Amino acid sequence: MTKNARDLLNLHRLRIVYSHSTMTHDERIQRESSLIATIRKNLPEFARACADDTEMVLLHQDAFAADYQEDEYMLLGMAIKYAGLRGKEVRVIGRNRSSFAEAERLQ
């Protein structure tokens, strides 16, 4: 087996399988409303960035779960979903803990 074939096989194993939901329209609307309220409450600047006319929202990778907090991972996923609801592309920039290293250099 070639390296490319092995790489494709490994990608297939990591692939997320999407299924069609059996959620009702009312349940979907309720979940979407809950998502919107959560983002507006916890990430107001992000919500405002998603409200303008730009096509893309930039996130520094240290903005969420810089210290690997589980709840921050979930909030990141919610932010991405929120941006999608608003028709925005999300681009993640920066390197792990780079904002912290920069802050230390400035001190």
Contact assessment for residue 57 and residue 90, using Cβ atoms and an 8 Å cutoff? yes
Residue 100: what pLDDT?
Answer: 47
**3-state DSSP assignment of residue 91:** strand
* pLDDT tens string 14-46: 556 666 668 899 999 999 999 999 999 999 999
* pLDDT tens string 47-101: 999 999 999 999 988 888 888 888 999 999 999 999 999 999 999 998 776 654 5
- Rounded-to-integer distance, Cα 26 and Cα 46, Å: 26
Structure tokens at 97: 């803990």
Residue 95: what pLDDT?
Answer: 78
Mean pLDDT score, 1-25:
63
β-partners of residue 91 are 58
- Rounded-to-integer distance, Cα 88 and Cα 52, Å: 10
Angle at 22 between CA 17 and CA 25, to 5 degrees: 120
